[in-house]
Each structure stands twice: as structure tokens, then as C-alpha cells.
Chain A
Amino acid sequence: MKVRLTNLIIGLVAMFASTIASAGQGTQLNLTQGVTEISQTVYGLHMLVFYICVAIGVVVFGAMFISIYRHRKSRGVEPAKFHDNLRVEIAWTVIPFLILIGMAVPATMTLLDMDDTSDSDLSVLITGSQWRWHYSYLDYDVEYLSNMATPREQIYGRLPQTENYLLEVDRPLVVPVGQKIRFLITSDDVIHSWWVPEFAVKKDANPGYINEAWTRIDEPGIYRGQCAELCGRDHGFMPIVVIAKEQAEFDEWIQGEEQRLADARAEEERLLSMEMSEDELMSLGEQVYLSQCAACHQPNGQGIPGVFPGLAGVGVSIGDQNAHIDIVVNGSAGTAMQSFRNNLSMRELAAVITYERNAWGNNTGDLVQAADIHEFIQGNQ
């Protein structure tokens, strides 16, 4: 029996090892070296500590296996009687201590380097909220939201998953290479954590407080990460994409963005006097609703009972119009409902409120125009 059991185990282990090996082709099994000086230092530290652990493991487990093989009763061994040895005990207290000092010195140097955010060339304010990132360039008049771009059809298996499944966004963060970029990280609601493995940057976004981190990227490219702190239902659907460009390209991009945002604001002013038709409002509204609201209130407006309120046939969506505008524009303090005032244009706000008041059988017949939103905000101030 014993022999057969052993054979079975060896067979299973071999099977498992070959599965791992075949899975290993093209599958990343180790930490990334990343694309910054810091990330490479971090990788070096990781490998150093790993090899030290392997060496200790070989010695300790080696002694154990020799003992298991040689000092077994079935070989007729008589047990020895010793039960302590002061010299050995001092040695295996002091030697690990020295090894630890050997690890602590480079770790300390690296940490001091990572925490030094002084003399940066560019600052980006990163704000996490359920479940998207907001990027604001402090040195330029540019800010925008970054939402996951993977469609629900892929998540729920109605379409095949594509290469960057769950790691793609509508508007990535764009930064220049070779510059010291300082990230100021905070949150609007719960704690999030902004993590891009290739930069070895992971910092928590704490509501009400601002954390700092920095990076200097060596190579242009697209780098992907994810939110790393449990932040509610869609924690797994909050990716980060960073595009690093050459300085000249970056300058061109950021100037284009500044211009585009300025144009959009001017356009918005102009459109305030223009009425949108019901069809226009409803189709834009549905689009905005699905990208901004559906994560909580659900595409069918039913919400999740006890967690997120429904909008179909209940609450503000069929009640007072101004109260409805108020909660979308200003949010609701003490709940997960955030303020959309800075995240959506007045046109989009008007459209999404119209959509909520008329979709899913709500049929209030109310059409909210950008001018109504403008008036509400003016009256609010």
C-alpha cells in the first residue's frame, strides 16, 4: 500500500508540474522589472531576498530531509539524548540577525529614495471614486475622468474577451518620459489604491487626505494597473492606463487638450440657449447613464436592494424635478452618491436626468435642458 500511495503522489506531482510548465509559457510568473530606475531596484531587492530565502530553505529543509531519511526507526536507529547546545543556539540567533541587517540596508536606501517627492517636473492630482479615476494636471488647465472601457458584454460572456480585458480605459493618463512626475493621490469616497506595477508605485487614495508618490519613466509605452484596495462592488473594474510619451509629443498633446477643453466650455455656453429634442436627450442620456450610473443603479434602473436605491418607479426620478437635479449635481452627503457637477457637462447632466425621468416606465414627460441645470447651479451659488 505504502509504495502504491507514494507512486500515486509522485504521479500527481509530476502532472501538476507539467501543467504549471505548460501554463508557464507566456504566463508571467515573477515580479515585473518595470520601466523606472526605482522599479528595477525594487525588482533587485525582491530577487535578493528571494534567493536568501531559497538558500536558508535549502539548508533547513535539507537537514530535515536528511534526518527524515537517515534517522528513522525503520532503519533501526537508536535516538540520541541531547536536548540543547548553547553555542549552536547562539549561532542561529546571531547569524539570521546579521542576514537581516544585510537586507535592511539596501531596503532602507530604496525607501528613502521612493519617499523623496521633492523637485518634481510635473504634478498630477489623482482622485479615486467609485469606480473611476479622475486626473487633474496641476500645471495645466486639463482634467478628466478615466473609466473602464471594457464593455459589459465581454464581462458577461456575450462577446469574447479581448487582449486588454478589464485593463483598458476610455481616457488614459498621459505623461512625459524622463521627467520626475509627482502624483498627489486622494479619494472622493472610500479608500482606493493607485497602482501601476511597472513604476513600482502603489499608494492609497484616502478620502480627505492627500498622499504623494513619484516616478520617472524611462521608456515610452502603455502601462496598465488596477485599483489595489477593496472599494466596493466594482473594485475589480477600476483599471489604470498610463501612456508615456516623448516630451515633445506630450507637450503637443497637453496643448491640444487645453484647447479642446476650452472649446468645449465655450460650446457649452453657446448651447445653453439651445433646446435639445427628446430623442437627443434620451439617446445622450442613455449613453451617460450606462457609463456613469449603471454600475450602482443597474442598467434596468432597479438598483441593488439594500445597497443602491432603484430609480425605476420610485424616489426622485418620479418626484420633484429640482430635487432630482440637486442630487445628481451635488450628490448626497453620507452616501455613495457622488457629485457629478465637475464630471459631466451641463448637456450631459440634463440628458441623463431626462433619461432617468422617462426611462423604464417612469414616463414623467419632463424634459430637462442644459439651461435648467445652469439656472439651478446659478441659483445654488
Chain B
Amino acid sequence: MSVGLVLVAHSAMLADGTAELARQMAPDVELRCAAGDLDGGLGTSLPRVQDALSAALAAVDGVVVLADLGSAVLTVESALELDPELPPRVRLVSAPFVEGAVAAAVTAQQGAGLDAVAEAAESAVLSIGPEPVLQLVQAPGSGTADSPAVVGTRASGEAIPVPDPTSSGDADQVSVTVEVRNPLGLHARPAAVVARSVADLGVPVTINGADATSVLQLMSLGTSAGDVVTIAARGPDAEAAAAVVAGLVQGGFGEL
């Protein structure tokens, strides 16, 4: 099942800019904007939404819709109420517009189904705000509560702990430590490169405990040049997968 996105916004600049950001990380995803009112002013328009939905559904099996403000949500809901063929194939999500679009696009790029893409958008809200970020920092296997192992600190001064070394005794588990070299670390584009590669490999990989197929979790690590990160992989191809990711990180993502 292929899944596309429709971005419904009051401003064409807002929708186009968000689409640009999402396309950078998910270049092959069917992504359409329905923005502005019929006269080109700020607002949303039912015909534009209907056109974007039918164009997207001509290319893909399902569509996840993100809307920017309340009345954009109402416009999408009206489109769904008017055409009974839409609801089974269209999912309007309650998600932060930009983060949700990026998360959904990257997940769709990896070939996920409608439910998974919708969930990626809706859980994107977890990447906003300090609590979830701290949860990632204190991911399972991160030293002891009394003296957490630390491999680096993020800009805010929080410690980045090392995954628990005892858990790497598993024969199938490989972990390697590499230094981040590009100045901005695992920001959006590099995070997307890593996430796509790991998804293609089909091997469970974490970077400092963050799921390496999740762009948002990788971005939430807040890494920058000079940080040392631990790449852990499991399974028969763990060694190769860890080496691939290590190579990507050490290569600096073409930003050196």
C-alpha cells in the first residue's frame, strides 16, 4: 500500500515550505498542498482540498491529511462528509503541522501503510517539548541512576549517556562508537539519510538508544560535531548494519 500526504493550510507559503522540508527527506512520496482560499488569499477552500485529495488518490492507495488551523480541519471534514468514498482511504490526523508532515513523509517513504503513517504524524508531537527529549536521553540501558555513564553533552548541557555495556554481551548485538563530524550533527537531512538506510537494511539499529529509523528520535538526540555516539545493532546482519551507519556518521553527510 502506498501512502501520500495532503497538506491543508491557510497560507500557500506555509504549505509549500512544509512540503519542501518534507520532500527533502522523502523525495518519492506523493505530496500535495491545498492552501489559500479560492481567490488566493489566506484561508482554506473545499474545492482545493477536494482537488488535492483526488489527485493524490489517483497516484496512491491512501492519504494522510494534515491541517494547520481549526477551520482547515473543518474544511477537510466537510470533504470527507460529502464524498463517502473518501473516508476509507483518507486519514485526517491530529498532529503538529510541520513536525507531523515530516514524520509522516519519512514514514511513507519507507513504505509504511496508512495506519503507520498516520501514527507517525500523530506521535510527532512527542518530539516537541523537553520531557520526551529527556526520556530519550534516559533511554533504557543508560548506566545506573546514581552515576550515569556519559559520552557527551548536548547544547543545553544535558548529559548523553552510554547504552548499558552489559546488554551488548549478546552474541547478535554489535555496538560501535563513532564521533559526529558534521557541524550540525544529526539534523533533519542526515537523520533522514540514516533513517532511510536503516529502514532499507531491515536491521534494528539504535543511536544512543534512539530508534535509527525515526528521524524525529534521531533529531531529538541534539547531536553536534564532536559528540561521540554509540551505534547498536542486533540480529544476524548487525555488524554490517552498524558499520554502514557508522560510515554514514563518520562521512559527515557531505557537510564537511
A-B interaction = no
Identify the B interface with A (CB < 8 A). Answer: none
